[in-house]
Amino acid sequence: MRLQSSAFWIDMIRADLSRMPRFQILYGLMLALALGITGWAAFFAPFPARGDDDTAQLATLLDRAEVTFSTPPNISANDLLAAGTGTRVTLPNQWDDINPGFEGQAWYVIHFDLDPDKPTPDSVYLPKVVMNAQVYLNGIKIGGLGAMEGELTRMWNHPMIMPFPSELLKATENVMLVQVAGYRDYNSGLGRVWVGPRDELQTLYQMSYRWQITGSMMATLIALLCGLVLVIFSKAGHANNGLVFLGLAVLDFSVRNFGFFNDWVPLGHDNWATVVRVSHAWFACLFGQFLIRYMGKRWAPLRLGLWCYAACVTVLTVVLNEQDALAYTLILISPVMPFLLVLNIMLLHQAWQQHSVESTILGSSTLLFLLLSFRDLMVGAGWLPSETVLMSQYSGIMMFFSGCWVLLRRFRLMYAEQQTMNQRLNAQLMKREAQLLEQFNTIRAIEQQRTKDEERRRIMQDIHDGVGSSLVSALSETESRSLSQEETRTVLQDCLDDLRMAIDSLDPQSDDLLALLGNFRWRYERRLKLSGLSLSWQVTDAPTLVDYSSRDMFELLRIVQEAFGNILKHAKASRIVLSVVWDNTQDLLTLSILDDGQGNHTDPQQPSRGRGLAHMALRAKAIGLGLSLGPGLNGQGFGVVLTIPRQRVR
C-alpha cells in the first residue's frame, strides 16, 4: 500500500512538473538550491572540532582550561605553573570575552587523566587557534606553529596537529600548556583540544585542512580568475549591465580571502587588518552598483550613496583606534547587508516577471552568497560557534561562475548574431553580385555590339576610302577618255589590294607585325614578279607589338602598301629591300623599304589618288610612328624608314 501511495504521489508530481513551463521549474530549482545550501551550511557544515562517533570513542575532547595572560614573552612554562594562578574558562575561548583589548600571549593550562577504555594518546589536535601556538605536555614542548613574538605569523585559520611519545603521559594528573600569541581586537583565543591516537586525529586534521586552507586557496584562485575575466571582457560588448562592477567586487573578495590560507601578508598586521576591514565596505559598494545597473535602474542618488558609504567607512576605519576598529566596522557594515539582500530579492522578482534565465541563475547565486556571507559575519561577531568552517568563499564560486557564464553567454549570443548578420550580408552580397553580373553581361553585350558596329563602320570606311576611291577615280577617267588594258588592270589591281588589306586587318594575329608583313609579301609577290622586281626580305625575330589595335596595324600596312605602290608605279626600279630590325636598348622596331629606282616617287602630275607621301606621314603620326624619307639602295632610288615603338604611344 505504501509503495502504491509513493508511486501515486511520484506520478502526481511528474504530471505537475510536465504542466509547468521550463522557466518555472528552473526558477524553483535555483531558489531551492540556494536555500538548501544555506540550510546545510547553517546546520550541517563541516565542524572538525566536534569530531564524530569514532573520534568520541577513540579520543578525548578537552574543553576546560585555566588561562593566564602574560605580556612579557620571556616567561617560562615552569614559572607559570609555579604561579598557579589563572581564570577558569570553557573552550572555545576568545580573549575579548574575558580580557578585552589584550594583546600579547595567553597560557592555557589543561588538566586531564587518561581514559582506560580508550587507546593511549600520541597526538594533540588543535582545530582552532588564533593566531599562533606552542604546546607543552607535562613540562615538555611537543610542537607549535607560527612566530610567538614581534610580527606574528598569520596562522589563525590553520589547524594544528602535534604527535608526541606516549611515554610523556601519566595515568592521571597530566598537564597540557598551550601558549597562544595573538593580537587585540582579532578574536584571538583557543578552541577545544583533542587528545588521542594519531591515525584518528589525522583524519580530522586533514578534513579541516582541506576545508580551511586548500579549499580557500582554490576558491580564491577561481575568484581571481573569474574577476579578471569579468573586468577585462565585460566592456567588450554593449549593454554590459554593470558586470565590470561584479568583476571588481570579485577581485576585492579575492584580496580579502588571501589571508585565509597564507601565513604572510604584503603589509604589516595593522595595515593589513585595515585593508581587510575596508574591503568589506568596498565589496558591498561594488556589489550594490552591480545589482542596480544589472536591473537597469538609474537610481543615481542611491549609486552615489554607495560610493559615499564606502569612502566614509574607509575614513572611519583608518581614523579610529585599533581597539574599536573591528566593532565600529561591524556596526558600519551590518546595515548594508539587508540593503543588498533587498536588491537581490528585487533582481529575483524581475527575473520572474521577465522569465529571464540569466537573471534567475545570477540572482540565485548572489542570494546564496549573501546568505552565507551573513552567516560568516555572525561567526565573526560570536553569534555562531567560532570553530565552524567559514563558507562564504565557497558560495562565491557559484556567483563568480554565474557572472562568467552570463558574460560568455552574451558573447555567444553576439557571435551567433554576428554569424546571422554575416549570412544575411553574404546573401545580400550574392544577390548584389548577381545583379552586378547581370549588368556586367548586359554592358559587355552592348560593348561587344558596339565594337562590332565600329568594326563594320571601319571596314566600310576602309573599303570606301580604298576600293571606292579607286573605282570613283577610274569611273571619272573612263567618262573623260578610254582606258587602256594596262590602265584598267592597274585600277582593278589597286582595288583588289585595298580589299585584301581590309580583310587582312580582321586577322586575330594583327598584333604580330611579322605575320602581317609575311601575308602582305604573299599577296604582292605575283605583282612584283610581273613587274620584274626582285624583293629582298631581311627580317629578324621581333617581339609582339603591344596595345596596337587592328585599325593601327591596318594604317601601318597602308603605309607599306603606299610605299610599294609608289615603287611599282613611278620608281622604275629593279630591286626592293624590306628589312625589320629590333633595337632592344630603345625598345623600337625599324622597318625600312629601299629601292634602286629614279629617286622621288611622287609625280606632281599624278596625285596618287590619295596615297602620296603626305598621306603616309599623316598615317604614321596618327598611330605614333616615326617616318623618315631618304635615298635608297647604294645612294640611288628612294627609301622609307618607319620607327615603331614596341608599345603603342597614345
Q: What is the pLDDT of residues 68-119, one digit of tens each?
A: 887 655 666 666 666 666 789 999 998 888 888 788 889 999 999 999 999 9
For residues 371 and 36, is the Cβ–Cβ distance under 8 A? no
* Neighbouring residues of 171: CB distance < 8 A, sequence distance ≥ 6: 113, 114
CA distances from 230 to 220, 374, 502 (A): 15, 24, 80
Please determine, for residue 19, whether its predicted confidence score (pLDDT) is greater than 60: no
Q: How far, in Å, CA of 469 to CA of 490, rounded?
A: 14
**pLDDT single digits (tens) 35-45:** 888 888 777 77
Give the dihedral sign, CA 473/478/483/488.
positive
d(CA 56, CA 176): 20
| CA separation for the pair 82, 68 (Å, rounded) | 12
**Mean of pLDDT over the chain:** 81
Q: Is 296 exposed, middle or buried (0-12, 13-18, 19+ CB in 10 A)?
A: exposed
**pLDDT exceeds 90 at position 383:** no
Indicate the pLDDT class of residue 610, thresholds 50, 70 and 90. Answer: very low
Calculate the dihedral angle through the C-alpha atoms of 225, 228, 231, 234, rounding to the nearest 10 degrees: -50
pLDDT value at position 473?
60
Q: What is the rounded CA–CA span in Å between residue 25 and residue 140?
A: 62
pLDDT digits (tens, 9 = 90+) for 144-181: 988 888 888 888 889 999 999 999 999 898 999 999 99
CB atoms within 10 A of CB 302: 14
Cis peptide before 92 (omega within 30 of 0): yes
Amino acid occupying residue 625: L
Residues above pLDDT 70, as percent of the chain: 83
d(CA 335, CA 285): 12
Measured on CA atoms in the order 13, 16, 18, 24, is the torsion positive or negative?
A: negative
- Alpha helix stretches (DSSP H) within 44-86: 53-58, 77-83
Least confident range of 89-98, 144-153, 509-518, 609-618: 609-618
For 328-344, what is the mean pLDDT?
79
Task: Read off the pLDDT of each residue in 281-298 and give the average, rounded to a whole number.
Answer: 89
> What pLDDT does 3 receive?
44
398-448 per-position pLDDT tens digit: 777 787 787 777 777 777 888 888 888 888 989 888 889 888 888 888 888
Q: Which residue has the cell 579549499?
A: 215
pLDDT for 507 equals 57
Return the pLDDT at 11: 56
What's the rounded Cα separation, in Å, for the pair 261 and 211? 10
Give CA torsion, residues 337, 231, 308, 342, to 10 deg.
Answer: -30
Residue in the structure block whose three cell numbers are 557564464: 405
Question: Which pLDDT band, with edges at 50, 70 and 90, does 221 fall under?
Answer: confident
For residue 487, name the pLDDT band (cuts at 50, 70, 90): low
